């Protein structure tokens, strides 16, 4: 799979089901504790140790302890900024894509837009869940990132996002002109997402959380693949028939 | 000569568990579909099953519980199950009670596993995976402690695997494929597909990240050669650039790459003074519909009206390439954006036919692997309904290929009633003269809830002779078994599904992969552990067909190193073909009945009597073939019986 991984739920529950995100924190801790408590005295580290588990009481206790430790996950501010920022980034793509049916888009652009809406709506839910699980502020799915400075609310744009003027241009376009502008702007928009991934993975300590790593890798490959597809569509739009 | 009554009795007896009886017992898919509305839960989820039987369900061992299980590899009576925490080795000598032999701690994404003889290969790609299998991660952006690439273990002592080598790659290894070259007994080759961004050259020298550099770490796969006697000497021997010059349109069909025709069109365009610009890999004439508004805006910019002058045209020509570059998002210094994909997600090699199928971002590739270190792309298909080409499976005779689309990356619920049937599905192609032709789609034919991540994922052929039958994992969509003998009309014939893991939210779970291995289906359940299932006879698959499938045995299996299925001669094989002829009316009913009777008596006989009876039957069937509805299958049957006679 190239999949987005799911993080566990937080809150009052001790048991946190199935989370790749916590392999680093809980998973690794659980493994370490299980082996250590099981009496592998020489196991100063768990890595590469093997065991044939017949869970003893102490192992289960260790595991439960590890689970309660699971909320301590090694994510960084860069991870949080990426997951928050990408929500507003995706939200703008959805606004753009939703114009397709009312702006006379061709059927191929409409299909592309349907896919973008479907994919990015699901991804926003995943990012919001990740943030919620870590008790981080969860941004609404609205374009950009709202920031209050000096009592004034500003909307910060992430890389590749369309300016107000560009959005107006797109909204005013119809038919083939809309197709062309949408593809042009969506390529710019997707390239911005790829830039955000690059910035994230170049930050110290970032992407250790496997959910974030996989999500970022997926955004990278999915959007790069879509850029290639959109470039082909755009090429067909501007080329005279051969 | 036996009486009619005797013939009838024998016929019924010999097929008691076969096609005749079961066609009465089981017909169409159950309706309403029992997969709808299943109770959520981890171990206690509701289940729906059709034409399959659960042999065992073994939960993930406590120490790995919570980490995701990933792909499977097989050797002897062992199953190796990857996990984001390492890998597990199960002894499945007793299918009802798999026993954990090893849980090897080595956290990484996604621990794709393969085996060959005494070696085990494991993929790693994430930023926190450590060379020493440590659990603490790697925080530095540049570190010598990081492992992104391929780990090699010696599993001679399977309870104590020994890490005997590691090969670092620029993009890590998301998946890998072991290629056993029939001509090379000393080495195996491993194709590495890395889908995450390349690492810094300061961490691994030569990892160039710039896409426009001719030595870029993008746009290539890595081929690792593993000397079997010295796995520690495994190293990259080539980095084939199988993605070059891909300019196919986003539609079905072969990418023609017809440069000559395009060149001629360009010459014509030049002759008539058309505007041109370079994009998608070459100079192209631009349409009047695109140029006219631009000319109008040049006129307007100088405050003029009416038609554009020669000076206006010249002004536009001067800035046209810049306009195009901006539209296409072409970076400064990037002279062209001809490149399509930069990587494959997965490659399935089929050494017996010298071909591989590559699932590579927006394309499905057909690759010539006759020279293992230098694979060559020989065909490419694209599909506007496909999001992300994920994996490939050939049918056994190599006349078809199936590609899956992992739309949403596996972590999204893409089987909702509102999701299109063509999206997140399998696309089925026929292969003739090494060209792929689209035939149809197959998608899990039942809607899943929003709490269930679901999309096409890993599967394998089931060795039903003479048919293309496949089992496939659909994450929380469960396991679907389908018949794609007719690639334009693939049809589900069995399934197993559980309710969602959680009723309130979507957790990433469900079967990651399901593969047929030595008579059973083995499924890696991401959160619930290891499932083993077997086929039960139905109208779609007879007991004889299942028995014939069970005669195909492997010493080891890596599904992405697709083995040729070969059926040893058996009575089950002959009866399986007869059941198929009955199902398709491919041979007169009386001849089918008589042949079954002969097989029954021949099986009771021995030595010369058996041989003579079978040889005679084979000869009769050869004669029957001429007037039969399915002559080819009757001949196949005759050949199988002749082979059985000679055994």
Domain ranges in chain B?
4-25+568-645, 47-246+340-557, 259-327
Q: What is the mean pLDDT of residues B482-498?
A: 98
CA B15 to chain centre: 34
Q: What is the mean pLDDT of residues B171-197?
A: 95
| Helix extents (H) in B239-397 | 259-271, 288-301, 310-327
Homologous superfamily of B47-246+340-557 in CATH? YVTN repeat-like/Quinoprotein amine dehydrogenase (2.130.10.10)
CB B472 within 8 A of CB B432: no
| Nearest C-alpha neighbor of B343 from the set B237, B239, B467 | B239
CA atoms within 13 A on the CB side of B468: 21
Q: What is the mean pLDDT of residues B145-171?
A: 97
Q: How far apart are the first and last CA of chain A?
A: 39
* Candidates A123, A177, A217; nearest CB to B195: A217
Beta bridge partners of B521: B516, B533
**Residues B449-458: tens digit of each pLDDT:** 999 999 999 9
Q: What is the mean pLDDT of residues A47-55?
A: 46
Chain B residue nearest residue A8, CA to CA: B507
The whole-angstrom separation of Cα B85 and Cα B100 is 15
Q: How far apart are the first and last CA of chain B?
A: 28
| Nearest C-alpha neighbor of B421 from the set B401, B441, B437 | B441
CB B423 within 8 A of CB A112: no
Angle at A181 between CA A180 and CA A187, to 5 degrees: 95
Percent helix, strand, coil in chain A, to 5, is 60, 5, 35
Candidates 1.20.1260.10, 3.40.50.2300, 3.40.50.720, 3.60.15.10; correct CATH number of A77-238? Answer: 1.20.1260.10
CB B453 within 8 A of CB B437: no
**Is residue B13 predicted with pLDDT exceeding 50?**
no
CB B178 within 8 A of CB B190: yes
Q: What is the mean pLDDT of residues B262-272?
A: 85
Q: What is the mean pLDDT of residues B147-156?
A: 98
In A, which residues are within 8 Å of B417 by CB distance? Answer: none
pLDDT at residue number A154: 78
Interface test with B, best of A17, A19, A23 (most B CBs within 10 A): A23
pLDDT at residue number A33: 30
* Candidates B196, B409, B413; nearest CB to A1: B409
**Residues B72-130: tens digit of each pLDDT:** 999 999 999 999 999 999 999 999 999 999 999 999 999 999 999 999 999 999 999 99
**Residues B450-480: tens digit of each pLDDT:** 999 999 999 999 999 999 999 999 999 999 9
**Is residue A104 predicted with pLDDT exceeding 50?**
yes
**Which residues 484-543 on chain B approach chain A with CB closer than 8 angstroms?**
501-502, 505-509, 512, 526-527
pLDDT at residue number B175: 97
Neighbours of B438 (CB within 10 A): 18
* Interface membership of B84 toward A (CB under 8 Å): yes
The whole-angstrom separation of Cα B18 and Cα B272 is 72
**Residues B546-578: tens digit of each pLDDT:** 999 999 999 999 999 999 999 999 999 999 999
**Residues B524-535: tens digit of each pLDDT:** 999 999 999 999
* Interface membership of B391 toward A (CB under 8 Å): no
Contact flag A20-B508 (C-beta cutoff 8 Å):
yes
User: Which of B22-36, B169-183, B503-517 shows the lowest per-residue confidence on average (mean pLDDT)?
Assistant: B22-36
Contact flag A2-B195 (C-beta cutoff 8 Å):
yes
Distances (CA, A) of A94 to A127, A141, B317: 15, 9, 35
Q: What is the mean pLDDT of residues B605-609?
A: 96
Contact flag A214-B409 (C-beta cutoff 8 Å):
yes
Q: Which residues of B163-181 are buried (b: 16+ CB within 10 A; e: fewer)?
A: bbbbbbbbbbbbbbbbbbb
pLDDT at residue number B254: 36
The token duo for B326 is 């901006």
In A, which residues are within 8 Å of B146 by CB distance? Answer: none
**Is residue A52 predicted with pLDDT exceeding 90?**
no
pLDDT at residue number A242: 52
**Residues A113-170: tens digit of each pLDDT:** 999 999 999 999 999 999 998 889 999 999 988 777 777 777 889 999 999 999 999 9
* Interface membership of B68 toward A (CB under 8 Å): yes
The whole-angstrom separation of Cα B596 and Cα B544 is 12
Q: What mean pLDDT is reported for chain B?
A: 91
| Nearest C-alpha neighbor of B370 from the set B390, B353, B389, B346 | B353
Chain B residue nearest residue A19, CA to CA: B66
Confidence of residue A240 (pLDDT cuts 50, 70, 90): confident
pLDDT at residue number A151: 79
Task: Give the relative orientation of helices A210-238 and A107-133 as an angle to the nearest 10 degrees.
Answer: 170
Confidence of residue B617 (pLDDT cuts 50, 70, 90): very high
Contact flag B107-A27 (C-beta cutoff 8 Å):
yes
**Is residue B598 predicted with pLDDT exceeding 60?**
yes
Percent of chain A scored above 70 by pLDDT?
69
The H or E element containing residue B578 is: helix B571-584
The whole-angstrom separation of Cα B632 and Cα B369 is 30
In chain A, the DSSP E strands lie at 145-149, 152-156
Chain A residue nearest residue B83, CA to CA: A20
The whole-angstrom separation of Cα A48 and Cα A50 is 6
Percent of chain B scored above 70 by pLDDT?
92
pLDDT at residue number B352: 96
pLDDT at residue number B336: 52
Task: Give the relative orientation of helices A210-238 and A175-201 as an angle to the nearest 10 degrees.
Answer: 150
Confidence of residue B333 (pLDDT cuts 50, 70, 90): low
Domain residue spans of chain A:
20-71, 77-238
Q: Which residue has the tokens 């073994």?
A: B58
In B, which residues are within 8 Å of A5 by CB distance? Answer: 68, 411, 508
Chain B residue nearest residue A230, CA to CA: B328
In A, which residues are within 8 Å of B419 by CB distance? Answer: 118
The whole-angstrom separation of Cα B338 and Cα B356 is 24
Within 8 A by CB and 6+ apart from A77, the residues are none
Which ipTM was obtained for this model? 0.84
Sign of the four-CA dihedral B279, B281, B287, B289: negative
**Residues B211-250: tens digit of each pLDDT:** 878 889 998 999 999 999 999 999 999 999 988 877 544 4
Q: What is the mean pLDDT of residues A74-101?
A: 95
Beta bridge partners of B469: B462, B483
Would you call B277 helix, strand, or coil by DSSP?
strand
Beta bridge partners of B472: B459, B480
In A, which residues are within 8 Å of B507 by CB distance? Answer: 6, 17-18
DSSP A179: H
Neighbours of B118 (CB within 10 A): 16
């Amino acid at each position: 799979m190239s999949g987005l991984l799911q993080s566990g739920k937080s809150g009052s529950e001790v048991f946190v089901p199935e989370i790749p995100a916590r392999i680093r924190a809980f998973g690794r801790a659980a493994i370490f504790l299980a082996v250590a408590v099981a009496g592998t005295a020489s196991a100063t580290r768990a890595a590469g140790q093997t065991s044939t588990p017949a869970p003893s009481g102490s192992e289960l206790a260790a595991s439960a302890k590890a689970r309660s430790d699971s909320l301590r996950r090694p994510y960084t501010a860069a991870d949080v900024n990426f997951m928050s920022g990408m929500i507003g980034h995706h939200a703008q793509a959805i606004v753009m894509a939703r114009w397709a049916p009312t702006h006379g888009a061709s059927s191929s652009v409409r299909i592309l837009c349907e896919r973008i809406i479907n994919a990015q709506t699901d991804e926003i839910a995943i990012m919001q869940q990740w943030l919620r699980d870590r008790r981080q502020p969860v941004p609404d799915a609205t374009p950009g990132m709202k920031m209050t400075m000096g009592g004034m609310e500003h909307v910060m744009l992430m890389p590749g996002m369309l300016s107000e003027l560009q959005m107006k241009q797109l909204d005013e376009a119809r038919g083939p002109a809309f197709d062309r502008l949408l593809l042009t702007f969506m390529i710019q928009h997707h390239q911005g997402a790829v830039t955000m991934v690059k910035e994230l993975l170049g930050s110290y300590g970032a992407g250790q959380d496997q959910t974030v790593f996989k999500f970022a890798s997926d955004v990278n490959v999915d959007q790069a693949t879509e850029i290639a597809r959109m470039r082909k569509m755009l090429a067909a739009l501007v080329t005279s028939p051969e | 000569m036996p009486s009619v009554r005797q013939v009838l009795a024998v016929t019924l007896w010999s097929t008691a568990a076969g096609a005749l009886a079961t066609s009465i017992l089981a017909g169409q898919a159950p309706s309403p579909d029992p997969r709808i509305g299943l109770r959520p839960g981890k171990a206690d989820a509701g289940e729906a099953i059709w034409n399959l039987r659960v042999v065992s369900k073994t939960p993930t061992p406590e120490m790995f519980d919570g980490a995701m299980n990933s792909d499977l590899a097989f050797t002897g009576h062992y199953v190796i199950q990857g996990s984001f925490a390492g890998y597990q080795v199960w002894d499945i000598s007793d299918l009802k009670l798999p026993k954990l032999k090893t849980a090897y701690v080595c956290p990484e994404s996604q621990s794709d596993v393969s085996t060959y003889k005494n070696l085990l290969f494991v993929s790693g790609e994430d930023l926190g995976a450590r060379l020493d299998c440590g659990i603490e991660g790697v925080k530095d952006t540049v570190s010598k402690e990081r492992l992104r690439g391929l780990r090699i273990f010696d599993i001679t002592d399977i309870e104590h695997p020994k890490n005997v080598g590691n090969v670092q790659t620029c993009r890590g290894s998301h998946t890998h494929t072991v290629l056993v070259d029939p001509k090379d007994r000393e080495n195996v080759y491993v194709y590495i597909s890395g889908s995450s961004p390349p690492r810094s050259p300061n961490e691994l020298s030569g990892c160039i990240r710039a896409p426009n550099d001719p030595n870029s770490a993008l746009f290539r796969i890595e081929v690792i050669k593993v000397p079997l006697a010295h796995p520690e000497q495994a190293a990259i021997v080539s980095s084939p650039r199988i993605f070059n010059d891909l300019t196919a349109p986003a539609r079905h069909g072969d990418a023609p790459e017809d440069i000559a025709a395009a060149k001629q069109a360009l010459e014509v365009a030049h002759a008539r003074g058309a505007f041109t610009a370079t994009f998608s890999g070459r100079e192209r004439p631009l349409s009047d519909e695109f140029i006219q508004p631009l000319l109008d805006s040049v006129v307007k910019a100088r405050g003029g009206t009416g038609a554009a002058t020669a000076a206006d045209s010249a002004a536009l020509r001067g800035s046209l390439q810049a306009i195009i570059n901006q539209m296409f998002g072409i970076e400064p210094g990037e002279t062209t954006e001809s490149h399509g994909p930069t990587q494959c997600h997965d490659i399935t090699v089929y050494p017996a036919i010298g071909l591989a199928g590559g699932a590579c971002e927006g394309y499905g590739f057909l690759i010539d692997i006759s020279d293992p270190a230098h694979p060559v792309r020989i065909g490419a298909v694209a599909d506007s309904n496909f999001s992300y080409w994920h994996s490939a499976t050939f049918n056994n005779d190599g006349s078809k290929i199936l590609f899956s689309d992992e739309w949403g990356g596996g972590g999204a619920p893409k089987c909702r009633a509102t999701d299109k049937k063509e999206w997140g599905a399998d696309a089925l192609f026929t292969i003739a003269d090494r060209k792929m032709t689209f035939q149809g789609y197959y998608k899990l034919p039942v809607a899943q809830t929003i709490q269930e991540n679901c999309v096409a994922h890993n599967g394998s052929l089931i060795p039903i002779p003479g048919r293309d039958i496949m089992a496939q994992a659909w994450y929380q969509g469960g396991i679907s078994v389908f018949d794609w003998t007719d690639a334009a009309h693939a049809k589900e014939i069995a399934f197993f599904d559980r309710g969602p893991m959680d009723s309130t939210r979507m957790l990433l779970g469900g079967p990651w992969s399901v593969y047929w291995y030595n008579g059973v289906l083995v499924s890696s359940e991401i959160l619930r552990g290891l499932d083993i299932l077997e086929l039960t006879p139905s109208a779609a698959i007879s007991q004889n067909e299942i028995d014939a499938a069970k005669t195909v045995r492997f010493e080891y299996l890596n599904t992405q190193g697709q083995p040729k299925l070969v059926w040893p001669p058996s009575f089950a094989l002959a009866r399986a073909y007869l059941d198929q002829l009955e199902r398709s009316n491919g041979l007169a009913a009386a001849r089918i009945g008589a042949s079954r009777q002969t097989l029954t008596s021949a099986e009771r006989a021995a030595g010369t009597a058996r041989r003579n009876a079978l040889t005679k039957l084979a000869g009769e069937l050869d004669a029957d073939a001429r007037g039969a509805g399915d002559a080819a299958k009757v001949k196949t049957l005759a050949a199988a019986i002749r082979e059985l006679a000679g055994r």
